[in-house]
Amino acid sequence: MAWDFSPTEEQRLLIDTVRQFMAEEIFPHEREVERLGAVPPELGKQIHKRSRELGLYAANMPAEVGGGGLDFLSVTLMDRELGKSTWGLMGWVGRPSEILNVCQGAQRERYLIPTVAGERKEAFALTEPNAGSDAMGIQTRAVKTGGDYVINGSKHFITCVRRPDYIILFAATGVDATPRGERKRITCFLVDVDTPGFDLRRGPQAVGHRSYHNYQLSFSDCRVPAANILGEEGKGFEQAGAWLSNTRLLVAASCCGKAERAIEIATQWAATRRQFGQTIGRFQGVGFKLADMATELRAADMLTMQVAWKYAAGTMTDGDAAMAKVFASEMCGRVTDQAIQVLGGMGLMNELPLEMLWRDARVERIWDGTSEIQRHIIAREMLRPLES
């Protein structure tokens, strides 16, 4: 079957629109935002407003709830462009969690629709101090008491562009017996941050995406109605898994965008910076670096688009998404590092965005599942059919 990933006319228009938006609304603010370690609220609102006017806000959500209704390949192409900057800024171009699409009844009016409209902001809370890669190890518990659930536990590293209004929270609601032994029942809840018993505070500063803050959450006898269960009771792990595969693919796309920007800066520099009487790009030691960077990016782009195409065709597996994430995020780490080498000392100075891209690239191998966990997923898919 033929694979043709050339963008359609509409997709080309979308890419041009996002590129112009980035050049006008995002790139000019990077240095100041990096210096502050925060996005001033007025700037955040301006990015939000402009992205809504251009139809970029919540482009991933269905049109019937107010979203852009973009097909997944287009969302992937858009995220590739957004990936060229830092999350603190691009996060204001809202990309609500698709997991919210299972909202039912009153949840649609209270959570889904205002989130797609940009009036409310959610954060996704799975990770805990004692449960990162081992998500099944979460200790936050929600105990049914009458028509409510009483939540106790804590979460950390929970990111959002601003203080969130509510949390998509994963908690254990019991234990199931399975052929492989006992397995925690994980349930997903929607929890407003002003619920009594819920405390939310800023977490430590990370090395990259400095203006994209993380929060620590703690729950002490925090009571939420059973009506706040998102999806089915006991199905949270499956919901989180499906959403994470989708997100991993978008991480891959944004890594390709980031690497492309780093390569552009490095190529421009190598073509004009002179040492020993000639431009440095003419030295094989520099030219070969550029060649390797461009080749690695092309390979990551092809893999990402092929997996996005499989997603759109309904045939993407968890292993496919893991391959795209591990390959593109590791490529991005190498390419941003080599780009700095091409610039020499100037690569480390904050006059250029390269050092920011390099720092931001580091977390891509960790969040949404580390590289090691992606390799586990891929290997498991290869081995399982052959194991008895």
Please name the residue that has the structure tokens 């966990």: 373
Q: According to the binding rule CB under 6 A, does residue 373 interact with ligand FAD? A: yes
User: Alpha-carbon distance 192 to 169, whole Å?
Assistant: 10
Considering only 34, 311, 369, 378, the residue that binds ligand FAD (CB under 6 A) is 369
**Which residue(s) pair with 214 in the sheet?**
159
Per CB under 6 A, the segment of 103-111, 152-160, 274-282, 309-317 that binds ligand FAD is 152-160
Pairing of strands 213-225, 148-160: antiparallel
**CB-wise, 104 or 133, nearer to ligand FAD?**
133
How many residues bind to ligand FAD according to rule CB under 6 A? 21
Contact 30, 85 (CB under 8 A): yes
Mapping DSSP onto H, E and C, the string for 82-96 reads: HCCCCHHHHCCCCCC
State which residue, 261 or 325, has the beta carbon closest to ligand FAD.
325
CB-count exposure of residue 174 (10 Å: 0-12, 13-18, 19+): middle
Judged by CB under 6 A, the stretch of 15-23, 117-125, 326-334, 339-347 that binds ligand FAD is: 117-125
Say whether residue 150 binds ligand FAD (CB under 6 A).
no
Position among 43, 70, 126, 361 found at the interface with ligand FAD (CB under 6 A): 126
Compute the distance between CA of residue 188 and CA of residue 170 in angstroms, rounded to an integer: 5
Q: Which is nearer to ligand FAD, 13 or 136 (CB)?
A: 136
Q: What minimum distance in Å lies between the beta carbon of 91 and ligand FAD?
A: 11
d(CA 84, CA 82): 5
Nearer to ligand FAD, 174 or 203 (CB): 203
Residue from the set 33, 58, 59, 125 that interacts with ligand FAD by CB under 6 A = 125
Looking at the chain, the number of H-run helices and the number of E-run strands are 12, 9
| Alpha helices for 181-283 (secondary structure H) | 236-272
Q: Which of 270, 277, 276, 258 is nearest to 337 (CA)?
A: 258
> Among residue numbers 325 through 364, which ones bind ligand FAD (CB under 6 A)?
363
Residue 190 lies near ligand FAD (rule: CB under 6 A): no
Residue 157 lies near ligand FAD (rule: CB under 6 A): yes
Could you say which of 11, 214, 246, 304 contacts ligand FAD (CB under 6 A)?
Answer: 214
DSSP state of 161: S
Q: Does 198 bind ligand FAD (CB under 6 A)?
A: no
List residues near ligand FAD by CB under 6 A.
Answer: 123-127, 132-133, 157-159, 206, 214, 363, 366-370, 372-373, 376
